C-alpha cells in the first residue's frame, strides 16, 4: 500500500514551494497530486528531482492529509502511468490529457503539445493563454532545464475547451464563407 503523505518541495532558486500528495517517484522524477492551495487538489505534477533542494513535512501536513482522506482523494497513479524519458512523459501527458504545461528553471510556464525532440532538447506546439495554437513556436527546451511537467489540471482542461471551441467556431465561419 502506498504511503499517504503530503510533501512540501523546495526547488532550486524558486521562491514558492510545491505542495502535493505523494504518488510515486524514481531516481529522476517525483509524481504528486498537485495541491495549489490549502485542501484543493488539482491535477498532477512531475518534479525533476535534480532541481529539488529540500523536501519537508511541516506540522500542518497531518491536518491536510486528514482532510484529503475525508474528501476521498486517493493515491492511485493516473491510468497506465509509467516513468520514462522526458519525451515519454510528455507523450503520456498528451495522450491521456491532451495538453501539458512545463516550467523551466526561471519558473516560466509553457502549455502545449510535443512537436519534436532530439538527444538533448525538445520543442512544443505552444498554446497561448488565449487558446491560440502556435505551430511555429521555435523555442528549444533542454531536457536538463525542465523542472516540472503538469497535466490533468483545471487550467489545462479549461484551455483545451476554449481551444476546441475556437477551432469549431472558425470551422463554421470558414464553411459559411465557402458556401457563399
Q: How far apart are the first and last CA of the chain?
A: 63
For the chain, what percent of residues have pLDDT higher than 70? 93
What pLDDT shows up at residue 16? Answer: 84
What pLDDT shows up at residue 171? Answer: 61
Q: Are 47 and 29 in contact (CB under 8 A)?
A: yes
- In the predicted structure, residue 173 carries a pLDDT above the cut 90: no
Rounded-to-integer distance, Cα 104 and Cα 148, Å: 7
- In the predicted structure, residue 99 carries a pLDDT above the cut 60: yes
Rounded-to-integer distance, Cα 57 and Cα 7, Å: 6
CA-to-CA dists, residue 154 to 138, 157, 160, angstroms: 27, 5, 10
β-partners of residue 113 are 125
Q: Are 100 and 35 in contact (CB under 8 A)?
A: no
Which is more confident, 171 or 163? 163
Give the 3-state secondary structure of 45-70: EEEEHHHEEEEECCCCHHHHHHHHHH
In what helix (H) or strand (E) does residue 83 lie, and over which residues does it extend?
A: none
What pLDDT shows up at residue 169? Answer: 72
- In the predicted structure, residue 172 carries a pLDDT above the cut 90: no
Domains recognised in the chain with CATH numbers: 1-76 (2.30.30), 84-180 (2.30.30.100)
What pLDDT shows up at residue 61? Answer: 81
Lowest mean pLDDT among 75-84, 89-98, 145-154, 167-176: 167-176
Q: Tell me the per-residue pLDDT of 136-170, one tens digit each, with 9 for 90 and over.
A: 888 999 999 999 999 999 999 999 999 989 888 76
Measured from the Cβ of residue 12, the count of other Cβ atoms closer than 10 Å reads 12
Instruction: Compute the average pLDDT of residues 103-112.
Output: 89
CA angle 26, 33, 161 (to 5 degrees): 120
Q: Is the pTM of this model over 0.95?
A: no
Instruction: Compute the average pLDDT of residues 57-67.
Output: 84
What pLDDT shows up at residue 180? Answer: 54
Amino acid at each position: 500500500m502506498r504511503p499517504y503523505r503530503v510533501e512540501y518541495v523546495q526547488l532550486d532558486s524558486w521562491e514558492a514551494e510545491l505542495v502535493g500528495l505523494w504518488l510515486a517517484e524514481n531516481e529522476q522524477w517525483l509524481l504528486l497530486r498537485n495541491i495549489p492551495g490549502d485542501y484543493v487538489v488539482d491535477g498532477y505534477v512531475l518534479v525533476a528531482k535534480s532541481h529539488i533542494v529540500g523536501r519537508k513535512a511541516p506540522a500542518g501536513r497531518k491536518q491536510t492529509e486528514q482532510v484529503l482522506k475525508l474528501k476521498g482523494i486517493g493515491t492511485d497513479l493516473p491510468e497506465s502511468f509509467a516513468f520514462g524519458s522526458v519525451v515519454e512523459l510528455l507523450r503520456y501527458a498528451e495522450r491521456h490529457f491532451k495538453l501539458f504545461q512545463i516550467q523551466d528553471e526561471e519558473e516560466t510556464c509553457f502549455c502545449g503539445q510535443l512537436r519534436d525532440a532530439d538527444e538533448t532538447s525538445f520543442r512544443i506546439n505552444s498554446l497561448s493563454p488565449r487558446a491560440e495554437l502556435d505551430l511555429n513556436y521555435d523555442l528549444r527546451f533542454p531536457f536538463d532545464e525542465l523542472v516540472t511537467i503538469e497535466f490533468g489540471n483545471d487550467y489545462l482542461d479549461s484551455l483545451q475547451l476554449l481551444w476546441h471551441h475556437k477551432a469549431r467556431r472558425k470551422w463554421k465561419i470558414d464553411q459559411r464563407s465557402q458556401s457563399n
